[in-house]
Structure 1
Amino acid sequence: MKYVSFILAAVLSVCLAVAVSRSIGSIPPLAGLLDPNHGFWQNTISEDQMAEKELELDNLSAEVKVIYDEDLIPHIFAQNELDLYRAQGYITAKHRLWQMEFQTMAAAGRISEIVGPVAIELDRMTRRKGLAYGAEKGLEFLSQDPQTLALMEAYADGVNQYIDQLSNATLPVEYKILNYRPEHWSPYKSALLLKYMADMLMGDRDLEYSNLRKILGQQMLDKLFPNFPEDNDPVIEAERVWDFEALPINTPDSANYPNDLLVIDPLPQPEEGIGSNNWAVSGTKTKSGRPILANDPHLALNLPSIWYSLQLTTPEHSVKGASLPGALGITSGFNQNIAWGVTNATKDARDWYKITFKDESRSEYKYGDGWRKSELRIEEIKVKGEETFLDTVIYTHYGPVVYDRTFRSDRQDVNFALKWTAHEGSNEQKTFLMMNKAKNHDDYNAALDNYNAPPQNFVFASKSGDIAMRIQGKFPVKWEDQGKFFMDGADPQMEWSDYIPFDQNASTLNPERGFVSSANQHPVDPSYPYYVFDNSYEHYRNRRLNSRLREMTDITVDDMKALQFDDYYLHAKEALPVLLGLLDESKFQTDAAKKYLKELKEWDFYADPNQKAPTLFYIWWNKTTGKIWKEWYEWNAPVVTPNYYQTVSLLENEPESAIFDYTGTETVEMAKDHVNLAFEEFLEAMADWEREEGDYSWANYKRTSIKHLVPQFASFSVDNVYTGGGRGILNATSERHGASWRMVVELGDEINAFGIYPGGQSGNPGSRFYSNMINRWAKGEYIDFSLRSIEDTQDALFTTTLK
């Protein structure tokens, strides 16, 4: 068996080497990969097989004990915070070093150093967005907080001590395949990681909305893209009374927007499917009389997993949950007194400004009646196997000029600067350090006062019975529609005039309805005194969640687990009757058409993995929207189409609207024409699927996969995970996105906590802890996540003492 494993490892190494060489044009040294003493074989050993009872770690003031449970989750017991975070850095690096470094190199625009010229354009765009610049500003801001900086330096020291102990044999396998070595960690890299997350979660459609305003006119744009939907069930309950005096809003007499169609490529946006759910129910609605909190962030399903679970304990506090490898503390979790979780607060926090330079030197740009000095930042992009690539980025007082002629010669002659709160100095790390030790609602608020970006909905519950929600971020005060379109940077009236005071950010404490919740929907109703806008508000998960929480009583932890795994497809429930009502069934009398229609009509609207109707609806709906908005895709400028909620509304309430008519045909098309043509294409697609694949059950069609961070490393991925759910569903598991972490916590005298994520604690693909939680996650199962005491070593996998 040993020789079989070795041969398999050797073959896998060669296959990966070939795949990498095709992508990056550089073959790693195969002799080293296949060396049984130092190569890939050494990465097939699981952590418990290499367990060490004692390890020496410099700069500790006292011993630190680390107890690993059966899933390799470490419970770190230290006598003080400096030792605690030094140990966290060491232990996290021990299991996730390559992931930590790869993500921060991506944030810094340094992937070309690893893979060569194929990544130059990616690195250029990352640098032009200013992620590294934002991290530098964050580090400058951190210099004012020596206590937090000292903890970050302790964490970095722990990481670096692990790096310095690495031999060629113990080097993570990705370094061996890509043929490079890790560099030392620093607080700057931890700051970069948080900017990486901000970029992952933030988007804007200023470019597309500017084009739509030019093509459609303001009136039609407002009709198809309203600021508030008809069914607005916001994060903060609509009954909330805003008992503060809002800052004045200086609305200009007229807004200066660029008038031409913008044919430049938009920035990459957060991938569809990124979102989250969180909620808390008060003791008045639970069977135990205790609050229960739940959180499930929806992100890309990647390996190594986005999250790394652990417990951090000192004599003063004990906290457990999910951490971001590379950041200190717990990001979503609980301690002895409170629990908290996060979801993305989709709220426009970055805007674009057209810059008018004085001359070709671009050393000055127009502002009001005069000219302002610009700054040049030379970006040196090191490229593996080639000379360093130099890129010049101009910085204005708004921010970096992302788009200009030097970026790509075929771009429109425009200069657009990006203003983004992530470029401004802030200390998000302090938020989580304080939250980890928080004891009550006041502590929770004090922690959030340090948090700027990316905007998040922070849910809260405490042993004392409080539940709360606060939408936290640094939000500019805007006049209506400000930031929805590209603005003229030469006009001072287009500036952000101020920021909403943190104590006026939308929040709620112990609402009468007995619960708080968020699912990336509108944060507030129209009574909130500040302009609120984003291009990506969610319209289905939130309504399903709130309707269930309103009607539920005697709620248990198991009820909350089931709600996180709820497969009810509200979008289909609202859209399918409309499609069927517009379909001329007399035209579709084949056996296949009758079979599919029967399955659709009998569907209970649950997208469970064995159901077939979700596949039928999904294909038909996508064919329909493709028909409806076909001409929009053909316009010679980037645009976005109305969302599903608005499209269903048009189909149902205005089926003969001119919006459905193609301008290039003699006939007048209506909604029914698109629906029927789409059904024809749906039948063709289904015939192809049944002929080639056969089974069209939802899990087999959706084919959820959990991919390695380097897509070419297919052997390090897990494909065809059998699970239900989908976009717009509480169990938001689509092809490549879903609940990256599920947590349910009941806050009583004894805290009951449960968690799971789609992966494993180890970053080593050869470890049995690399993907061991995926099957349980796919079934909606959890592991007991309760706090462990230092004396509790029963059923421990192994214990390591750091001396």
Structure 2
Amino acid sequence: MRYLGFLVSIIITASLGVILSISIKTVPPLGILLDPHHGFWQHAYSEDELAKKEINLKNLKGEVNVVYDEYLVPHIFAENDEDLYRVQGYVTAQHRLWQMEFQTMAASGRITEIVGDIALDLDRMARRKGLPYAAEAAMQYLGKNEPETMRLVEAYADGVNQYIDQLSLARLPLEYKILNYRPEPWSAYKSMLLLKYMADMLVGDRDLEFTNLRNILGMTVLGKFYPDFPRDNDPIIESTKNWDFTPVSVEKPATIKYPNETVGFQNLVQPEEGTGSNNWAVHGSKTASGAPILANDPHLSMNLPSIWYSLQLSTPTHTVKGASLPGALGIISGFNEHIAWGVTNATRDTRDWYKITFKDDNRTEYLYNDRYIQSTFRVETFKIKGKVDFIDTIVYTHHGPIVFDRSFRGDRDDMNYALRWTAHMESNEQRTFLELNKAKNHADYIAALNHYTSPAQNFVFASKSGDIAMKVQGRFPLKWKDQGKFLMDGNDPAYEWQGFIPFEHNPATLNPERGFVSSANQHPVDPSYPYYVFDATYEHYRNRRLNSRLEELENITIEDMQALQFDNFHLHAAEALPVMLNLLGFDESLNSDSIEAKYFTQLADWNYFTHPNQSEPTLFQVWWDKLYELIWDKWKMEGKPILLPNKYQTTLLLAEEPESEFFDKTETSQKEQARDLVKESFEALVAFMKTWEEENADYTWATYKNTTVQHLVPNFKSFSRANVYTGGGAGILNATGSRHGASWRMVVEMGDQIKAFGIYPGGQSGNPGSRFYDHFLKTWANGEYVNFDLRSRDQQSGVLFTTKFKN
């Protein structure tokens, strides 16, 4: 049956590949796809069926053994670091080569080389916001200042390239055959590019949307709906924290004059609201075993091949295990014999926009401090499959690249917006993870983080010696209040960043009295923190649910932490739905058998959990979406993108100001209040659900939200997995939406005998025909885990196969 299913999948996907190729006037060679010796049939074999007992690898200093467990997780045993990372590169490429290259081609703006001009705008954006430029800066920094990191990154690249060099047509990953291209050599630059790609995925800014909001609403209303600190602020660093340092002073301009701009185009793609990540650690004083327990579940888009690749790395000096990022060295989220660590996105504003005034249309000079200074040009050539090259000229200022101008999303001669972003600066994030992989204590953890700048992350920590900690780490600009919230004047030096917050002043805590540390993408601090911190997209629900449960729990076990990662309680619904039901009221004249009464009763009796077989979450989500649109859609203006108020502020308005003017619909003569919009939206819910039930019958939560783990090429739907049966949702600890969710779950108890469990929504293999392509998916969807303990070199149980690497 596996072969039959794979045959159907490949026929469908190959057909899509042909259709895609026809649009770019080149058709993949179907003869190769159908060739039994080189085509798709070769991909019906799983890795254990193709395993080699011995592989010759040049440049090794010693012998390296790789032991694969029953889940295809490799455990690499080497005698030195250089051999370790050379073999990591080779092994990762064996299973994820196409994914590694595709992601770096996306980051470097080169997808047009694969699929043609349908990807041109996407590619132009990648280069215009400076991802290749940022990777080049990282490479220059490594070359000048970090020879040890460079040596190891080059060893990794050598391992990847030795795999590519011996790659036969039969073993060439299937996507290359369908899209009709070949892998090119890997490089240290591509590893740096991959880390910048992750920085881009996780950073957001709303400066341009807030510029429009300020012009539409004014500062008073803006402050009401987008406050610096929400009322129920439950920050990452406990509110009792004493900031025992003298802050660096920041000078605010005496007068602030922002450019009088209306932004008439869509800004950069932003992280989706309600998704993010969770991590926490509980002190041994709260656990049943007396040992700290650490948990981490980064929430990202769920893709196939999977974002993460699990493995263990061992030398005589250290053993580390966890989730790696294909293309980068070491473990990103994991543990070793001494410590465990994990990451969540810190949601800090590290990108700002500046309005640039050029001297003339040549754009060779721009105004700064009322004088014209020289700009520079970067000419980008886009090779387009099946067509002539496209040339794009990007102007660079001292702030950064001009991302948006008349030639790209603009319709005015004077529209020139430059992006300043910490990711453009010299850095070595790779070193942070190399050092964390070997760290033995809290001091080592802090030292490792001192090399980390972008994207901003919350690093949780637990050690075998009993410490727990959290640090919000990144390179954060020194800003005066409201700086960077709006488009700024690129001519005025007063709008420059005034340096950076010292790393030792970044929010951090060690062994807090409450017995736990946690983060869930919420505000990092309370108002006592002496530096300006703002973001409009901080989480307001997952964090409060997490902290309340960690406060309540005692004698905590690994199973308790696993259950908390899979917690389906909908705190937003628990706070919003009673308000909505009260405003709606219940019409006693309604027939108890009516559909309105049916939905009302279901919602009124709901326990606020979002298990996959429940239908109430669907009713609430549809009703909330309809109500939210009625309240805020009137703020939307054609061609003026804005950020609408979040769920938390909207719920507060409903609960505390039901007669507010903000509920009034300007297109009607009457003055609407919250009650009117609640009733209208409930009617819209009933109409929507009638149609849904007629067309789908089932409106359980799993069916409605349709969780999908999608192939990196969206058209390759037969290589994706739709209708995954699982609960959760945005703003819920189990933050599993339709396309986003826990990309990796890990729970580690740091006792005398370390116990670890992990899982992710996919599999170890990048080959759609392999039984390891999505073998973790059902386990993940059920909230279950696989044993992830450290493995010794001589352990015999659970071995799938072993490969020896020799020079």
When normalised by structure 1's length, the TM-score is 0.98
Q: Give per-residue Cα distances to partners, 1:328-359, cap 9 Å, x unaligned.
A: 00000000000000000001000000000011
Deviations 1:192-247 (A, max 9, x none): 00011011001111011111111111011000111110000000000000000000
1:630 to 623, 630, 633: 633
Residues 185-584 of structure 1 correspond to what in structure 2 (within 5 A)? Answer: 185-408=186-409, 410=411, 413-584=414-585
> In the alignment, which residue of structure 2 is the partner of 1:592?
595
- CA shift at 1:11, angstroms? 2.9
Q: Indicate the residue corresponding to 1:100 in structure 2.
A: 100
> Cα gap change, 1:14/1:438 in structure 2, threshold over 3 Å: closer, same or farther?
closer
Is the 2:579–2:655 Cα contact (8 Å) retained in structure 1?
A: yes
SS at match of 2:475: coil
Report SS of the residue matched to 1:497.
Answer: coil
> How far does residue 3 in structure 1 lie from its aligned partner after superposition?
8.7
SS at match of 2:587: helix
Cα shift at 1:589? 2.4
Give how far 1:16 is off: 3.4
* Residue in 1 that maps onto 2:756: 753
Q: Distance between the aligned counterparts of 1:5 and 1:274, measured in 2?
A: 33
Whole-angstrom distance in 1 between the partners of 2:393 and 2:534: 33
Cα distance, 1:120 vs structure 2: 0.6
CA distance in 1, matches of 2:689, 2:579: 21
Q: Whole-Å Cα distance in 2 between the matches of residues 706 and 22 of structure 1?
A: 27
Q: Distance in 2 between matches of 1:596 and 1:3?
A: 45
- Does 2:125 match 1:125? yes
Listed as ranges, the matches of 1:645-656 within 5 Å are: 645-656=648-659
Question: Quick check: 1:668 aligned with 2:671?
Answer: yes
Contact 1:9 1:41 in 2 (8 A): no
Matched, 1:163 2:156: no
Structure 2 letter corresponding to 1:799: T
Residue number among 679, 682, 685 corresponding to 1:679 in the alignment: 682
Deviating more after overlay: 410-419 vs 182-191: 410-419
Report the CA distance between 1:638 and its aligned residue: 1.1
Distance 1:289 1:736 in 2: 38
**Given that residues 623 and 682 in structure 1 are in contact (C-alpha distance below 8 angstroms), is that contact kept between their aligned partners in structure 2?**
yes
Residue equivalent to 2:693: 690
Q: How many Å separate the matches in 1 of 2:25 and 2:670?
A: 53
Structure 1 position 658 matched with structure 2 position 695: no
Displacement of 1:272 in angstroms is 3.5
1:626–1:618 Cα change, 3 Å: same
- Give the Cα separation in 2 of the matches to 1:7 and 1:453: 43
1:84 maps to which residue?
Answer: 84
1:720 matched to 2:719: no
Q: 1:288 to 1:693 in 2, by over 3 A?
A: same
Determine helix, strand or coil for the equivalent of 1:797: strand
Amino acid paired to 1:80: N
Distance 1:412 1:690 in 2: 52
Q: Distance in 1 between matches of 2:314 and 2:444?
A: 18
Give the Cα separation in 1 of the matches to 2:719 and 2:23. Answer: 17
How far residue 261 of structure 1 moved from its aligned partner, in angstroms, is: 1.9
Q: Deviations over 1:250-293 (max 9, x none)?
A: 10012221123221221111233441000000000000000000
2:735 to 719, 732, 736: 732
Deviation at 1:411, TM superposition (A): 5.4
Q: 3-state DSSP class of the match of 1:629?
A: helix
Go from structure 1 to structure 2 and tell me whether the alpha carbon gap of 1:10 and 1:570 turns closer, same or farther (over 3 Å shift). Answer: closer
CA distance in 1, matches of 2:13, 2:403: 39
Give 1:152's aligned residue. 153
Check whether the contact 1:628–1:674 (CA below 8 A) recurs between aligned residues: yes
**Identity of paired residues, percent?**
63
Moved more, 72-81 or 24-33: 24-33
Provide the rounded CA distance (Å) in 2 between the counterparts of 1:295 and 1:588.
51
Work out whether 1:115 is the aligned partner of 2:118.
no
In structure 2, relative to structure 1, the CA distance for the partners of 1:545 and 1:24 (3 Å cut) is farther
Deviates more, 1:262-271 or 1:162-171: 262-271
3-state SS of paired residue (2:294): strand
CA distance in 1, matches of 2:454, 2:9: 43
Deviation at 1:585, TM superposition (A): 2.5
After superposition, the Cα gap between the structure-2 partners of 1:123 and 1:737, relative to the gap in structure 1 and judged at 3 Å, is same
Q: Distance in 1 between matches of 2:359 and 2:550?
A: 58
Structure 1 counterpart of 2:60, one-letter code: L
Q: How far off its partner does 1:640 sit?
A: 1.2
Return 12-21 or 191-200, whichever deviates more: 12-21
Is residue 710 of structure 1 aligned with residue 690 of structure 2? no
**Count of residues paired in the alignment:** 803
Confirm or deny: 8 A CA contact 1:274 1:300 kept in the other structure.
no
Report 1:755-770 matches (<5 A).
Answer: 755-770=758-773
Q: CA deviation at 1:43?
A: 1.0
Report the alpha carbon displacement of residue 8 of structure 1 after superposing the two structures with TM. 4.0
Distance 1:25 1:595, change over 3 A: farther
Distance 1:693 1:497, change over 3 A: same
TM-fit CA distance, 1:663: 2.5
State the AA in 2 paired with 1:296: D
Aligned mates of 1:779, 1:2 — CA distance in 2 = 22
Q: 1:497 to 1:605 in 2, by over 3 A?
A: same
Whether the 8 Å CA contact 1:10–1:34 is kept in 2: the answer is no
- The offset of 1:25, in angstroms, is 4.9
Give the aligned residue type for 1:242: W
Change (3 A) 1:38 1:635: closer
Q: CA deviation at 1:13?
A: 5.4
Instruction: Give the match for residue 774 of structure 2.
Output: 771
Q: C-alpha distance in 2, partners of 1:588/1:706? A: 46
- CA apart distance, 1:19: 4.2
Q: Which amino acid aligns with 2:603?
A: L
In the TM superposition, residue 23 of structure 1 has moved relative to its aligned partner by 5.8
Amino acid at match of 1:36: P
CA distance in 2, matches of 1:460, 1:412: 51
CA distance in 1, matches of 2:306, 2:407: 37
Task: Give the unaligned 5+ runs of structure 2.
Answer: none
What is the CA distance between 1:636 and its match in structure 2?
Answer: 4.4
Distance 2:370 2:589 in 1: 67
Of stretches 564-573 and 406-415 in structure 1, the one that deviates more from structure 2 is 406-415
Read off the aligned partner of 2:401 and give its amino acid letter. P
User: Does structure 2 retain, via aligned residues, the 8 Å contact 1:64–1:802?
Assistant: yes
Q: 1 CA distance for matches of 2:361 and 2:300?
A: 43
Q: Distance in 1 between matches of 2:762 and 2:409?
A: 39
Deviates more, 1:103-112 or 1:11-20: 11-20
Measured in 1, the distance between the counterparts of 2:376 and 2:460 equals 41
* Distance of 2:44 and 2:644 partners within structure 1: 48
What is the one-letter code of the residue matched to 2:70?
A: E
2:629 partner letter: G
TM-fit CA distance, 1:4: 5.3
2:28 counterpart residue number: 28
Q: Distance in 1 between matches of 2:159 and 2:107?
A: 22
Query: Unaligned regions of 5+ residues in structure 1, if any?
Result: none
1:639-684 Cα deviation digits (max 9, x unpaired) = 1110000000000100111111123322111111111110111000
Kept in 1: contact 2:610–2:728 (CA 8 A): yes
Deviations 1:139-170 (A, max 9, x none): 11111110000000000000000000111111
